[in-house]
Amino acid sequence: MLNQNKVLNFSKMHGLGNDFVILDRINQEFNLSKQVIQKISNRNTGIGFDQLLIVEHAKNIKYDFYYRIFNSDGSEVAQCGNGARCFAYFIYLKKMTIKTTLMVQTQNSHIIIQIINKNNIIVNMGKPQFNLLNIPKFILNNFRLNTFTVNDCIIKYGTIFIGNPHFITIVKNIKNYPVCRIGKILNNHSFFPDGINVNYMQVVSNEHIILRVYERGVGETQACGSGACASVVFGIIQGILKNHVIVTLPGGDLQVRWNGFGHDVYMTGPAEYVYDGYISERFFKV
């Protein structure tokens, strides 16, 4: 169902080039099929986005809003760090609340977002988890890594869950690494039945890493907030990173802070408003 003008209003935003279409489901009614989401995501014939974000009423009175995320292939996921910053900045710009600190409910948890200004939005991503169903356990005893063989190449890695499952490996030359080829193989492997976000990190110093991420359901993106957090946690556990790290992604820099086991992960970065638009009713005919 669309509004009386038979259009669906949206905003286009991005966080370090990781781009989003944001829909307000509080002030307009709509239902989107997987096929329609795929159609909107098409960069040639639609609007184009990495993820679609939907703002809804909270399902519990202790939260301010409910946050839903759909990949460009139409699959729903539980977390997106760059999206969380854009989600909060959208709410701020549209004056949907006067608060600058938001408690936001997600599919499987909640996040706390503080808006200082558009260049400094802090997201409390919660506590990282290391042993969940459908991702191999990252063995913490002696910080032992798992190994995975791809085309006779042995990859050492760890898996960490921060709203989404992440596979993290360290590479020496990230510029020439086959990010998409390896990422696609891993996401189609039975070892990861739900798919997995694949993070490739190059360590510049104990306070700076370079990161590229192949996101499940999307492909390589310009930035991945939860991937940045997972990679820093991985590096801290390995003893090669300090507690506060700059993460350089293709789209720009994020700051990630983690004080170790039992503590939440904090990510700081920008959000950019691009434009508002609307989708007409005829576009929904698949």
Residue with tokens 């003008």: 5
Work out the angle at residue 240's Cα, subtended by the Cα atoms of residues 133 and 141, and round it to the nearest 5 degrees. Answer: 45
How far apart, in whole angstroms, are the C-alpha atoms of residue 42 and residue 35? 11
8 Å CB contact between 169 and 212: no
Does residue 180 have an active-site annotation? no
Catalytic residue among 86, 180, 224, 229: 224
Residue with tokens 């991702």: 135
What is each CA distance from 9 to 5, 192, 211, 277, 282, in whole angstroms?
10, 36, 34, 6, 14
Tokens at 213, concatenated: 């991420």
Torsion on CA atoms 40, 42, 48, 54, rounded to nearest 10: 30
Reduced to 3 states, what is the DSSP secondary structure of residue 232? Answer: helix
Dihedral over Cα of 230, 235, 239, 244: its sign: negative
Strands (E), the chain: 7-15, 18-24, 51-57, 65-71, 76-77, 101-105, 110-117, 120-126, 146-150, 153-161, 165-170, 197-205, 208-215, 219-221, 244-249, 252-258, 265-269, 272-280
8 Å CB contact between 89 and 273: yes
Report which of 49, 110, 55, 48 is spatially closest to residue 88, judged by C-alpha positions.
Answer: 55
Does residue 86 have an active-site annotation? no
The catalytic residue positions are: 80, 224
